[in-house]
Amino acid sequence: MSERIRENLLPDLRAALLNRLQSSAELETMSDSVLRAQLAQVVTEHLLSRNLPLTERQNLINHLFHNMRGLGLLQPLLEDPAVTEIMVNGPDSVFIEKRGAMQRLPLRFRDTDHLIEVITAFFARANRNISYTRPIADLRLPDGSRAHAVLPPVAPEGPILTIRKFTGVRQTAADIVANRTISAEALSFLQSCVSERRAVFICGGTGSGKTTLLNILSAAISSAERIVTIEEALELQLQGCDNLVRLEARETDVQRSEAITTRDLLRAALRMRPDRIIVGEVRGPEALDMLTAMNTGHPGTLCTVHANSCRDATVRLANLVLAASRLPWEAILRSLASALDIIVFIERLSRGRRRVSEIVEVSGSDAQSVKCRTLYEMDTENDELVKV
C-alpha cells in the first residue's frame, strides 16, 4: 500500500475510531496499548474486503498510531537510534543527521496545512501552544529530546521543525579520547581544573559537543558538593553527583502559566546553599547574575556558551552582561577576568567528528578585552591537540 493511499484512508479510519468512543476526550486519555488495539479492530472491520497481508495491515496500524500520537511519517525517525537530528524545512524538505552524516530523505507531507496540523498537534499533546499568533515554540520530549518549531508567517516558505534527539548513550572520558575529540593529557588537565573548583567555560557552535564534554568533566566534581544545575531544557547528565538539584526554565503554556526564565532560576539557586552552580548554556541577561555569583563566593562554575573561539566567548559574555546592566565596559571585562579561569573551544568538523581545538587560561584584562593565554592548541599538520 502506497503512502498516498494510507494518507487518503486516514480521515475515514480516524472518524470510524471516534465513532466507537463516547467522546474525543476519551482518545486523549487512552493508553497507547488500548489505542493500538482499537485501531486494529477499526482496520480489520473497514478494510476486510481488501484482504490485506498481515505485514501491510500492521504497517497501516502503525501509520495511524503515529499520526494520532506521534509525528506521522517522521515517527520512525524518532524511533531510529542511529538518527540524531531531524530537520524539516517545509512539507517536501526533510533532512536527518545519521551517524554524523547529513542526508535528505524522500519524505513528503501532503501540503503546508498538513505539516502545520502535525506540528500543532504534537506540541498540544505536551501542553505547548504554537499558532499563527505565537509561531515559535520549544518542547522537551519525555526522553529528553528537544523540538523547536517555527510556523508561518515567521517561516514564509513553510513550517520548520527541528528535533535534536537524546540518544540515551552516555559517552565516557575513555570514549572521547578514543575518538580523538581530545587528547588524554588535555582531558586530564581539565579534570584537575574542575576538581580544583576553577571556573571552566566550554564554547563552540550548535551540535559541537559542548554538553557532552561538560557531562564528562562533571565526574571530577567531589561527591560531597551540593550542585545546582540550571537549563532552558534538561540535557545535562552529571556523573557522580549525589547532592544534585536540577532546575529547568518554563515558557508560558496553554494555561497561560507564568514564564520562569534561567535568570529567575539563577537567583533562586543562590538561596539553595550551592557549592557549585552549573549553567547548561548562557545566552541572555542571566549572564549578569551568573557573573555576580561567580565573583561572590561561588567558584567552580561550569557553563557552555555559543561562540566561534575562546576569545570570541569572552566578547560574547561581555556583551551579554552589557545588555543586562549599565556597567562600564572596562568594569565588565575586569569582572569577567576575575571570574573566568579556563575556556575550552570545541568544534564539529564537516564529517561529523567533534574535537577540542583550543584551551586557554584567562590572565587578566585591559580597557578593550579579556586577556587569554593559550595552553593547548591544534597541531593541524598532525591533527592533534598539543600543549603550548
SS3 for 330-373 is HHHHHHHHHHCCEEEEEEECCCCCEEEEEEEEEEEECCCCEEEE
The answer to pTM > 0.75 is yes
**Which helix (H) or strand (E) is 94 found in, with range?**
strand 94-98
What pLDDT does residue 2 have? 60
Residue 5 scores a pLDDT above 60: yes
Nearest to 351 by CA among 159, 102, 113: 102
What are the cell numbers at 290? 551568573
Q: Crossing angle, helix 286-294 and helix 310-324, to 10 degrees? A: 110
Contact 262, 284 (CB under 8 A): yes
The owner of cell 581545538 is: 357
What pLDDT does residue 308 have? 96
Candidate from 25-34, 211-220, 233-242, 338-347 with smallest mean pLDDT: 25-34
Mean pLDDT (whole number) for 20-44: 75
What are the cell numbers at 138? 520549544
Nearest to 173 by CA among 199, 197, 191, 151: 191
What pLDDT does residue 254 have? 56
Q: Whole-number mean pLDDT of the chain?
A: 88
Pairing mode of beta strands 200-204, 302-306: parallel
What are the cell numbers at 122? 504534537
Task: Write out pLDDT tens, residues 48-83.
Answer: 656 677 787 787 787 777 777 667 788 889 889 899
Report the percentage of the chain scoring pLDDT > 90: 58
Contact 219, 240 (CB under 8 A): yes
Residue 306 scores a pLDDT above 70: yes
Higher pLDDT, 6 or 158: 158
Residue 244 scores a pLDDT above 90: yes
Mean pLDDT (whole number) for 348-372: 93
What pLDDT does residue 297 have? 86
Nearest to 372 by CA among 387, 358, 351, 357: 358
Mean pLDDT (whole number) for 130-152: 89
Higher pLDDT, 213 or 141: 213
CA distance 272 to 267: 10
* Sign of the C-alpha dihedral computed for residues 68, 70, 71 and 72 taken in this order: negative
Gyration radius (Cα) of the chain, Å: 24
Residue 271 scores a pLDDT above 70: yes
The owner of cell 584567562 is: 362
What pLDDT does residue 258 have? 80
Residue 168 scores a pLDDT above 70: no
Nearest to 39 by CA among 6, 19, 64: 64
Task: Write out pLDDT tens, residues 169-207.
Answer: 788 999 999 999 999 999 999 999 999 999 999 999 988
Mention every residue, 6+ apart, whose C-beta is less than 8 A from residue 172.
216
What pLDDT does residue 354 have? 92
